[in-house]
């Protein structure tokens, strides 16, 4: 399903047999029901987040090295957390309102693992971050998803 955001409305384009249906859905009316669908997550250090707050924008190291900021959906985040951050302390989980991100977001399967992850192609504006949650590892070094706002 492809989505466009135009003037506060999400336009869902569902293709089938060459025919495309357009539905215009007001985000204001449906936001309480769509909240988790519009939320993406990013793992970073508390220190990097504090730097972002002082600079008024967040830029991960991967923005300069890969051209985008890695993010995950709530259903995906534990995979990268346990693979790349196992046992690391001092981490936070940024809860990001996808509809408020000013830079382009592209869902891609860059590593051909059968899952498209959201990538932010530019700096992250801080007003798109709705919550910053402590993200400590469990005793065995793995992570558990905390309650999301």
In whole angstroms, how far apart are CA 132 and each of 78, 92, 147, 148?
Answer: 16, 6, 12, 10
For tokens 């996808």, what's the residue? Answer: 98
Q: What is the pLDDT of residue 37?
A: 57
Alpha helix (H) ranges present in 61-135? Answer: 61-65, 78-84
Q: What is the pLDDT of residue 38?
A: 83
CATH architecture group of domain 38-134: Alpha-Beta Barrel (3.20)
Whether the predicted pLDDT of 46 surpasses 90: yes
Over residues 65-122, the pLDDT tens digits come to 999 999 999 999 999 999 999 999 999 999 999 999 999 999 999 878 888 999 999 9
Q: Is 114 exposed, middle or buried (0-12, 13-18, 19+ CB in 10 A)?
A: exposed
Give the residue extent of every domain in the chain: 38-134
Q: How does DSSP assign the chain, residue by residue?
A: -EEEEETTEEEEEEEETTEEEEEEEEHHHHHHHHHHHHEEEEEEEHHHHHHHHHHTEE--HHHHHTSSEE-B-TTTTHHHHHHHSTT--SEEEEEEEGGG--S-EEEE-TT-SS-PEEEE-SPEEGGGEEEEEE----TTS---PPPP-
Q: What is the pLDDT of residue 106?
A: 95
For tokens 């972002």, what's the residue? Answer: 52
Q: What is the pLDDT of residue 95?
A: 98
Over residues 4-31, the pLDDT tens digits come to 444 344 444 444 443 333 344 444 444 4
Q: What is the pLDDT of residue 14?
A: 41
For tokens 């400590």, what's the residue? Answer: 136
């Amino acid at each position: 399903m492809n989505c466009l955001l135009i003037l506060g409305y999400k336009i869902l384009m569902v293709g089938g047999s060459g025919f495309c249906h357009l539905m215009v859905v007001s985000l204001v009316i449906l936001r309480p029901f769509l909240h988790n669908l519009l939320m993406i997550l990013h793992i970073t250090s508390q220190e990097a987040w504090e730097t972002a707050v002082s600079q008024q924008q967040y830029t991960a190291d991967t923005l300069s090295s890969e051209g985008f900021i890695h993010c995950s959906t709530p259903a995906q985040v534990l995979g990268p957390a346990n693979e790349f951050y196992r046992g690391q302390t001092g981490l936070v989980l940024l809860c990001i309102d996808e509809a408020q991100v000013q830079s382009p977001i592209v869902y891609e399967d860059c590593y051909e693992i059968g899952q498209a992850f959201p990538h932010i192609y530019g700096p992250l504006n801080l007003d798109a971050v709705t919550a910053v949650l402590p993200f400590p590892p469990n005793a065995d070094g793995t992570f558990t998803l905390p309650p999301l706002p």
